[in-house]
Structure 1
Amino acid sequence: MDIFVRPGDSLWRYSEVFNISLQLILDSNRHINPPFLRVGQRVKIPGFIITNYQIKQGDSFWQITQSRNIPLVAILLVNPGLNPNQLQIGQIIHIPVRITWRLVDGKQNYTYDIMMKDIRTLIDAYPFLQSSTIGYSVLEHEIPELLIGNGTKRVHYNGSFHANEWITTPIILTFLNDYLLALTNQSTIRGLSTLPLYRQTTLSIVPMVNPDGVNLVIQGPPNDEVLRNQLIRWNSGSTNFSGWKANIHGVDLNDQFPAKWELESARNSKTPGPRDYGGERPLSEPEAIAMADLTKKRNFARVLAFHTQGKVIYWGFENLEPPESEVLVNEFSRVSGYEPINSAGSYAGYKDWFIQDWRRPGFTVELGSGTNPLPISQFNDIYEEVLGIFLAALYM
């Protein structure tokens, strides 16, 4: 929601009027120098939308503010030049409304386009949430990273490395949505106040590492005849891509990292296909390159890669993980009921590479149970299980 500065206004005053943290207002307006607000300058207030109201016979400002529990000054701020003593029947005025509902609907076949639309909606409503493009998929879909928080501890979550594990994307974005709601409504999640987490931690999220693969699983092969025929051939002649984990090149993106890649490659498929082909070399695929570049740039304290399925958490690699990893995974297990397992006995994964090169905690969290892609009917149960892990990775 945008408002326009009046004489004598301050960001602190806006914080009081809208009952929202000054920190969130500052972070929503990074282009503004707070001591030097200019009359008429546009200021973003996070966590609010504007609705229109048509004045009826007998309406008064007092009635309008009382019925909506909104201070008079809040309505004046979104209606520059309005005289509350001269309302006209039929006149349209703007009413600020606090967002108290989820904007993300994760309980659907969650394609790349739906994700991008939801990200735009979240950024519009919560402008302290930042977004940037870390790279492009094979089919030139942008791969977005979302950043929230301004703390020194840098934590990273990612989802949909594997195409038919796409439910991880709406699960992660639902948590982000709930985090944003708690921040702007000054509420808690499982009894935890979220503003201290925001101040202590910078959370990086790449919700969909493999957009081409996700769309392939959900929507089927693309219309381009050459690519379509190639994919069907790699898929053993089937047009059912529900078992497809790889990117659109038939490369498994979680077998792409230089952490004993040669050992993983030697025992897996040697040709493109639905799963387990690690490519001709490490980091050959643009999606894997984007994730590697981001990780080098951000210098994360810990990373969590969300996959499905099994209700387990893999937390080690070749005994290179620090002692902190076991402390963290035990807390993740306590709050989720998931089983901690030191090693999956595999190589070349994203968390393997992170542990190897940074000697910091990295985790692969396998959500839910069953056959991938997990049915959307499991969404609520999975979310409740993993919510504690999302939070613990921030407060630990």
Structure 2
Amino acid sequence: MQVTVRQGDSLWVYSQLFQVPLQLLLDSNPNIIPQGLMLGQTVEIPGYVTIGYQIVSGDTIWRISSRYVVPQDMLLLLNPSILVNSLRVGQIIRIPRRVTDVVVNTVRPYDYGDMLEDLTLLEEIYPFIRRRSIGTSVMGKEIPEIRIGNGPKQVHVNASFHGNEWITTPVLIRFLNEYLLALTNNGSIRGLVMNPLYRTTTLSLVPMVNPDGVNLVVNGPPSEEPYRNEVLAINDGSSDFSGWKANIRGVDLNNQYPALWEREAARGPRTPAPRDYAGTGPLTEPESQAIANLTRNSNFNRVLAFHTQGRVIFWGFEGLEPPESEVIVNEFARVSGYQPIEYADSSAGFKDWFIQDWRRPGFTIEVGRGTNPLPLTQLEQIYQESLGILLTSLYM
């Protein structure tokens, strides 16, 4: 929500009037000099939306203020053209409404378009989040990263490395929404006050690493060629893509990292396949390259990759994981009920590479239980189990 600066206004005044933490106002307006607001300048107020109201006969600012439970000064700030003593019938004014509930939609099979729609909505309401593209998929879809917070500890979380594990994306999107909601309302999640965590932790989220694969599983083969014919051929002519983990070229993105890649490639398919094909070499695919470049250009203290299924957490790789990994995974297990597993009979995964090259904690969280893609009926339970892990990643 935008307001226009009046004579004598300051960000502190807006913080008090809208009951929004000053730090969030500063982060929502990075180009504004706090001590130098200029008359007529536009300022973003996070955590609010506006509705239109048409003035009728007999309306006064006091009556509108009372009807919508909005301070008069707030109404005047949002509607600088209003003449208090001569409201015009038919005039449209903006009424501010504080956002107090989750706005994202996670009640249907969730594809790339759903994610973009939700991220755009969240970005409009909460302009202090920082969104950018870290690369594009084979089919040219941008892969967005969201950053939130400004603390020295950097935590990276991603989801949907695999197409038929798309349910992990709405888990991250809903968490993002609840975190933003708590921040702007000075609230808490499970008794944890969020604003101190915002100041100590910078959270990086890539909610959908494999957008082409997700759309393939959720919506069926694309209309574009040559992708349509190629994926049908890889899938033996079948239009059932429920078993598809790979990207649109039939490469398993979580078998793409230079951490014993040769070993993983030797025991998987030798040609493109719905799952497990490691490619012709490490990091051949644009999606895996995007995550690798993001990691190299950041300073992540730990990484979490959300997958399905099994209700387990893998946390080691070849004995290279630091001692703190065990402390963290035990807390993850406590809050989620998931089983920690130190080593898995696999390699070339994202968390493997991170542990190997940075010697910092990396985790693969396998949410839910059953056959992929997991049904939406599991989403609420998966979210509640994942929520404890996500909160722990902020406070530990």
Q: Please report the TM-score for the alignment, with normalisation by the length of structure 2.
A: 0.98
Provide the residue aligned with 1:262 in structure 2.
262
Give the Cα–Cα distance (whole angstroms) in 1 for the partners of residues 192 and 225 of structure 2: 52
1:83 is displaced (CA, Å) by 2.3
Aligned residue pair count: 396
Provide the residue aligned with 1:374 in structure 2.
374
1:394 is displaced (CA, Å) by 0.2
Q: Please report the TM-score for the alignment, with normalisation by the length of structure 1.
A: 0.98
Greater CA deviation, 230-239 or 144-153? 230-239
* Counterpart secondary structure, 1:298: coil
Deviations 1:334-362 (A, max 9, x none): 11111111111210000000000000000
* Counterpart secondary structure, 1:85: coil
* Counterpart secondary structure, 2:123: helix
* Counterpart secondary structure, 2:83: coil
Provide the residue aligned with 1:294 in structure 2.
294
1:68 is displaced (CA, Å) by 2.5
Provide the residue aligned with 1:361 in structure 2.
361
Provide the residue aligned with 1:135 in structure 2.
135
Provide the residue aligned with 1:203 in structure 2.
203
Aligned-partner residue type, residue 32 of structure 1:
I
Aligned-partner residue type, residue 272 of structure 2:
P
Aligned-partner residue type, residue 241 of structure 1:
F
Aligned-partner residue type, residue 224 of structure 1:
E
Aligned-partner residue type, residue 325 of structure 2:
S
Give the Cα–Cα distance (whole angstroms) in 2 for the partners of residues 183 and 344 of structure 1: 37
Deviations 1:69-95 (A, max 9, x none): 221111111001312222233332111
Deviations 1:105-137 (A, max 9, x none): 112111111111111111111100110110110
Give the Cα–Cα distance (whole angstroms) in 1 for the partners of residues 298 and 102 of structure 2: 29
Give the Cα–Cα distance (whole angstroms) in 2 for the partners of residues 171 and 99 of structure 1: 20
Greater CA deviation, 358-367 or 84-93? 84-93
Query: Do structure 1's residue 385 and structure 2's residue 359 form an aligned pair?
Result: no
Aligned-partner residue type, residue 373 of structure 1:
P
Give the Cα–Cα distance (whole angstroms) in 2 for the partners of residues 42 and 88 of structure 1: 25
Give the Cα–Cα distance (whole angstroms) in 1 for the partners of residues 226 and 71 of structure 2: 61
* Counterpart secondary structure, 2:246: coil
- Correspondence list, 1:84-163, <5 A: 84-163=84-163
Aligned-partner residue type, residue 246 of structure 1:
A
* Counterpart secondary structure, 2:226: helix
Query: Do structure 1's residue 169 and structure 2's residue 169 form an aligned pair?
Result: yes
Deviations 1:7-39 (A, max 9, x none): 000000000000000000000000111111110
Provide the residue aligned with 1:80 in structure 2.
80
Provide the residue aligned with 1:253 in structure 2.
253
Greater CA deviation, 224-233 or 350-359? 224-233
- Correspondence list, 1:3-22, <5 A: 3-22=3-22
Deviations 1:115-160 (A, max 9, x none): 1111111111110011011011000110110000000000000000
Provide the residue aligned with 1:188 in structure 2.
188
Give the Cα–Cα distance (whole angstroms) in 2 for the partners of residues 282 and 132 of structure 1: 25
Provide the residue aligned with 1:37 in structure 2.
37
Deviations 1:233-269 (A, max 9, x none): 2112211101000001100000000000011111111
Provide the residue aligned with 1:50 in structure 2.
50
1:62 is displaced (CA, Å) by 2.3
* Structure 2: runs of 5 or more not aligned: none
Aligned-partner residue type, residue 360 of structure 2:
R
Provide the residue aligned with 2:321 in structure 1.
321
Deviations 1:36-65 (A, max 9, x none): 111000000001011111223433322322
Aligned-partner residue type, residue 302 of structure 1:
R
- Correspondence list, 1:55-70, <5 A: 55-70=55-70
Aligned-partner residue type, residue 207 of structure 1:
P
CA root-mean-square deviation = 1.0
* Counterpart secondary structure, 1:94: strand
Greater CA deviation, 290-299 or 101-110? 101-110
Give the Cα–Cα distance (whole angstroms) in 1 for the partners of residues 220 and 121 of structure 2: 26
Provide the residue aligned with 2:213 in structure 1.
213
1:66 is displaced (CA, Å) by 2.6
Give the Cα–Cα distance (whole angstroms) in 2 for the partners of residues 284 and 305 of structure 1: 20
Greater CA deviation, 361-370 or 228-237? 228-237
Greater CA deviation, 16-25 or 97-106? 97-106
